[in-house]
Structure formats: structure tokens, C-alpha cells
Structure 1
């Protein structure tokens, strides 16, 4: 019985496939990060716990500027409990669809890559929780639906275990 349970567990673990940017190669519209994140944008989102329960809702006003491969994305968050926060990303376009980004609460540098209509970011973030900062990892996927809409799905993990998720719909103003 133990062997059967072990085999079933192994199949569940290894049978799950994760997405890759190559899954979106040659898809359209091609995600033009500089063009999309230029000018005013707005977003609505939810934060979910590891069980999928919505724990917070929020809106974001954004303003993006770009010059010579250097971008700045300012974000102003308002949460359903009245909390207000800001984040300013500084983004550098590298070669072949690669990007690097920094922000005040991002640990080190975020690394990103786009392919087809998708953009993938990986980074660590110091997240305020109950008066303390908790370092978590974001596995951030953005999908450009059309010229005016991007859907952002972020998986949040701590020590390799998923602890939450953020879903955000970003629209051009």
C-alpha cells in the first residue's frame, strides 16, 4: 500500500506541468512592454490566501514613462480596508525581450522576459504583514489580451510553499 501511495504521489508531483514562456512563442499580440506601460493606466485586483479565499481587494492608478530603454512605473494602491501604499518600479530593457527592475520593497533586482503575448517576472519582495516585513517570492505572469488590457497573475511563495496569489486586471486609460 505504501508503494502504491508513493507512486500516486510521485505521479501527482511530476504529472503537473508548469507553464513556460516558450508556450507563448509567436502568439499575438506581441507584448510590447515599453508601449503598454507608457502613460496612465488603472487596475483592479484581489489578493487570495493559499486556499483561494479572497482576503483583500484593491485598485491601482499607474503612470509609466520610458526613454532610451529606461522605464519608470509609478503605482498608487488603495485597498478595501483604506490602506494606501505606493511603489515605483525602475525598469531597464535588456536584449532579446529581457528586462530588469527594481523598486523600494523589491530585494535586489527583478528579472523578466517576454515572449509572444506573455511577460514573466521573478523577484523577492519585503511584504508588510502584521507590523513586520516578511520576505516572499513572486512568480509574476502578465498576459496581454489586447492593446488595452493586461491580466496579471502572481503566485506568492515562502520557503518554496505557495502562500497566496494576486490577480490584477490592468487597463489603459
Structure 2
């Protein structure tokens, strides 16, 4: 699948506009071999100042573990984006076309026991309508995925 496959589809998904709001989300993590691994909720909010999107999302997992990400995302032209977050290894890179957004990064992910693990993420966002976005993402190590996330974000305000 290529981002260009989504050119011309609507409604258009642009992180700087969709994520510039209060959002809530729900999701599940599945093992790559199948089966439910975890459930979670997400509370998020963002603000775009015309140059950079400041976006904070707090993930609360069913085991009580909480992970907060503080993103700074910039459009750099031609449907391309770059992002920073305190626990990233390097920077995130994204591509947008039509209703889709492809986001890739490596992040040191804190675990419930206090340890952390660096994971590679490969996320596809699909805008459904004015208030909903679905995400299918994979997490893995050294390019080998071991979990799939299915997330629904709902925009609460404009």
C-alpha cells in the first residue's frame, strides 16, 4: 500500500486540522499471532499555531499503565510531515494524501514495571468523517512487527 493510493479521497485528513481539538479514543492491541493483548482509552488535545502542531495524548491501558506522548508535528510541504516527541529515537516522518496519513517512528516506550523498550511504529490513519479517524498500526523491533493496534479517535470540538 502506498500513500498515493489515497490521492483524491475525502474527507481529507490533515493532522494539523483534525488533531487541533480535544479528542477521545479507544483501542485494542492484538498479538501478531492473533488474540487480544490489551485494551486502552486515549484522551488527547492539540493546538496548531500555523507552523507546528502541539499534540498531547494520554493512553490508559486496562492494566492501569499510563503513557503520555507530547508531540510537536510540522508540515514540511508536499504532504510530508516531521515530528518530535521526548522519547523518540530520531524524528517521526509522515506522508498525507486524501483521507490517509502514514506515520513512522521509533520510540522508547515505558512499561508498567518501570523498564522501557524501544519499538518501531508504522501507523496508518484513515479519516472516516468530520469527527472520526481510524488507525491501524504495528509495533515491533528491528522492522519485525509483533503487535497490531486498532484505534478509533473521536473529535470532541472544533
Q: What's the TM-score, normalizing by structure 1?
A: 0.84
Listed as ranges, the matches of 1:92-111 within 5 Å are 92-111=74-93
- Say if 2:23 is the partner of 1:31: no
Counterparts of 1:97 and 1:159 in 2: how far apart (Å)? 27
Structure 1, unmatched stretches of 5+, are 1-18
Using CA pairs under 8 Å that are at least 6 residues apart, name the structure with larger relative contact order, 1 or 2.
Answer: 2
Whose helix proportion is higher, 1 or 2? 1
The answer for the alignment partner of 2:148 in structure 1 is 165
Counterparts of 1:21 and 1:48 in 2: how far apart (Å)? 24
Counterparts of 1:138 and 1:84 in 2: how far apart (Å)? 18
The answer for the alignment partner of 1:143 in structure 2 is 126
- Say if 2:51 is the partner of 1:69: yes
- Aligned residue pairs total 155
Q: What's the TM-score, normalizing by structure 2?
A: 0.92
CA-based RMSD: 1.3
Give structure 1 regions of 4+ aligned residues with deviation exceeding 4 angstroms.
Answer: none
